[in-house]
Structure 1
């Protein structure tokens, strides 16, 4: 009996190590953002390794898009869970996340140490490329999520509200109102064609994780106010951002900007330069949190600050995706759930549109040359189909050249 238990434990460890190596390779090579990541995952786990069927993969994508947080990272966690249990979920997250997180921390440390040595034009070019990246995200999401007059209207009103009340609670209010509007205005049809997910989590564990998620979401703001502390305030801010982001990595931009710039933790120039650099590394965009943690103006910062912010922003994803798995079959069949999500998705487009104007546009576009550079970056991304890292490097070089010539 003891031998059997030891063999089972050894097999689980070997499974987690295999999962880590597979996702590490993806973490080092998966350029292109969340949509591209879904394509990489499909090729790796449906076509090559056959870990799950095409329909099961589509259903898993639907679950992770229904939940707040980074869909590609959540899919990775669920796949790791299916192969090697909870150690596999952690291994998948670590392999996919750490490469880009380490690159961004090194960039942050270099910026803080040798920032004056960087030509101003290079940093400005990174801010300009952020305009093109966010504009591309707004356009792509609007085409998929705002397909009728009602959803376009929700997006437009959401953008206006977010600009009038540019703080985290204003964005939470927008999402809550959009949920109610979705329930009132939309009546989607039932989708009964699918394969069950090859992942088993007991309802008891799922309920416990969901309760922990909501408990932390409610308790952290109270704790941060009751015991003023920089670390606790950072955990609260990044946990809330990871909990309330619908629609993918780009949408975390306004929540994080509202949390770290007005408080003085990070300057707006550093924020946008880091966001531009985040487009040049593989892996999930949520690793931008590591850059911000390393760039904090007061301790904890550096590697410790990066670890605090990175873990805090990803913990909600762990709790939500694993907690929701036992109940997904019932949720996916509910037209009311789908209707609410349609309203939320439209509001998310509006929030990202507001972020495109403030802080991205207003902090980067000052003269006609800036607009021209942003326009060319957008064309390079959308029509020339150049890889984002190449566009980022090109904009950095062009920014330096413009600062010399103009």
Structure 2
């Protein structure tokens, strides 16, 4: 529990900063401009998938038995990211678009930060891992909170410029406090290692599908309803994703243990720990739904304003759907650690198709409520397919009787 408490505390702070950043953005941007920023952040998530190419996971997988290999793999990642950045910046500069220039450079900086932080995750240095993740949101939030305090209202273009500058200073901070790459004889580094990039491509495809699963709704709403509805749905998604902090933290905690099954840890012990944390998350998710049902309208009125009152029911629906994604977020790490990608891919492909079809049916009928229903049901479909491929996990993840029994025995 000690390592989980470390990573969870930093992840909670990071998620809180991200949430507060969105609250602040709502206050300093019009709903229309916030809709543009919501789409930019969705584009950032998508482009980052292809930019990183899954090499953050390759870095972990191919360094698990030999820490000395990490340095070589780290430089391989940086060379690849720099090459991709160069290719993408040429058309971005040609079209002279702040939107796309900021998008490419933000992806580049975040990819480097992610590779730096892989060293902390691999070596289970969870305090530094948490601080690094926290810094990505903290500095940006503090700046825009100052803008809010000074009562400035800014355009989305200024927002993007400041966002990029703050990411650059975050990278400098991360370099100062983190792993320092050793000077290598670069001529000896094999930049293109086929197995390294094949593993990364498998991870990339699954990450792309996972992001598409919960982002396709944004694009469909943008086509059928417009930027204001995108802004409302995105605000509800950010609020509902506060509940993801626990499964994300559990996944980050368990992933290095999954990688080291039969090397440092027994499978039985790791799976018992996995079920315990999943059950704890299920209990907290139920509490979150009940509390938001009671206090959600008051919270929205105070922090968002009456123009965002529609998001109350969206958040409730998405919170219920979140439990389905718990299976993906935790079991996905296990299957990745044993280099088994087919199960995740099948679950995500079916869920994405299901989400698209439901959105096209329900949005014309129910508007953004239909979008939330479609996304929540798709989350559950993904989770059920994942759980069916690990015997006992579907019930094991929600077995509160087992959880209470363990908690009482520990006392």
- Greater share of residues in helix: 2
TM-score range, shorter chain: under 0.3
Q: Which has the higher contact order (CA 8 A, sep 6+)?
A: 1
**What is the TM-score with the length of structure 2 in the denominator?**
0.27
